[in-house]
């Protein structure tokens, strides 16, 4: 969040006697303090305008195909991380899945050239949620196939699944409240990272 806080202070206070931008001597009625610096009203208005323009440019001319590619690569990396952890440890630790939303969001932002906006949020959330479901399928598939092997069964759950019905049935195994919580966290992370910065320009 970009924040400019205005406060009146004594002219003899350190760092507030002159404008940090133009070195003009500040008067009692023409002093705007932003963080640890003080500006004259004119410079403050100019900087505020520049900040607004910079933030607006972050949501313009977004390369959505590249953003989608970045989100897919990030989501896939997160899904493989969760699945790989499960295969290595034989433990379905759902908290690892949170990285899916993080990587999907950052992938969208990075491949879009550092842009941010609601469109990128939609892409990251969609890809993050789908990646989570695919990862949950892979985790369940791993444990089911381990059980089938122990029983001496000759068939295995495949990836990719043969049908949507197979995908949903495997996904439904042990898909309880905690999985919903982890999915919600994934969606929140994917939504938060590409969010445009908020401005609080108080004068």
Q: Are residues 69 and 164 in the same domain?
A: yes
Separation CA 33–CA 39 (nearest Å): 6
Torsion on CA atoms 59, 67, 1, 17, rounded to nearest 10:
-70
Averaged pLDDT score across all residues of the chain: 85
What gap in Å lies between CA 101 and CA 186, rounded to an integer?
4
Identify whether residues 158 and 72 lie together within a single domain: yes
User: In terms of domains, do 24 and 39 share one?
Assistant: yes
- Residue at a domain's end among 31, 57, 83: 57
Percent of the chain exceeding pLDDT 70 equals 87
User: Is residue 199 included in any domain, yes or no?
Assistant: no
Total domains in the chain come to 2
Q: What is the mean predicted confidence (pLDDT) over 124-134? A: 97
Considering the entire predicted model, what is its pTM?
0.74
- Is residue 85 a part of any domain in this protein? yes
Question: Domain containing 46: what range?
Answer: 2-57
Whichever domain contains 14, its CATH number is 2.10.110
Claim to verify: residue 110 and residue 29 sit in the same structural domain: no
Q: What is the pLDDT of residues 151-198, one digit of tens each?
A: 999 999 999 999 999 999 999 998 889 889 999 999 999 999 999 887
**Is 90 exceeded by the pLDDT of residue 101?**
yes
Residues 48 and 84 in one domain: no
Q: Are residues 111 and 173 in the same domain?
A: yes
51 and 76 fall within a common domain: no
């Amino acid at each position: 969040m970009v924040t400019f806080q205005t406060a009146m202070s004594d002219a003899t206070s350190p760092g507030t006697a002159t404008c940090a931008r133009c070195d003009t001597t500040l008067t009692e009625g023409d002093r705007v303090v932003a963080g640890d610096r003080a500006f004259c009203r004119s410079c403050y208005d100019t900087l505020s305008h520049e900040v607004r323009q910079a933030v607006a440019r972050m949501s313009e001319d977004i390369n959505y195909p590249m953003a989608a590619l970045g989100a897919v690569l990030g989501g896939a990396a997160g899904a493989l991380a969760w699945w790989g952890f499960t295969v290595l440890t034989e433990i379905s630790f759902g908290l690892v899945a949170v990285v899916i939303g993080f990587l999907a969001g950052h992938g969208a932002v990075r491949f879009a050239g550092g842009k941010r906006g609601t469109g990128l949020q939609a892409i990251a959330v969609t890809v993050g949620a789908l990646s989570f479901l695919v990862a949950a399928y892979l985790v369940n598939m791993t444990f089911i196939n381990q059980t089938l092997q122990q029983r001496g069964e000759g068939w295995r759950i495949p990836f990719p699944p043969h049908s949507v019905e197979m995908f949903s049935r495997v996904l439904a195994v042990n898909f309880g409240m905690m999985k919903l919580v982890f999915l919600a966290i994934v969606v929140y992370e994917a939504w938060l990272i590409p969010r445009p910065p908020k401005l609080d320009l108080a004068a």
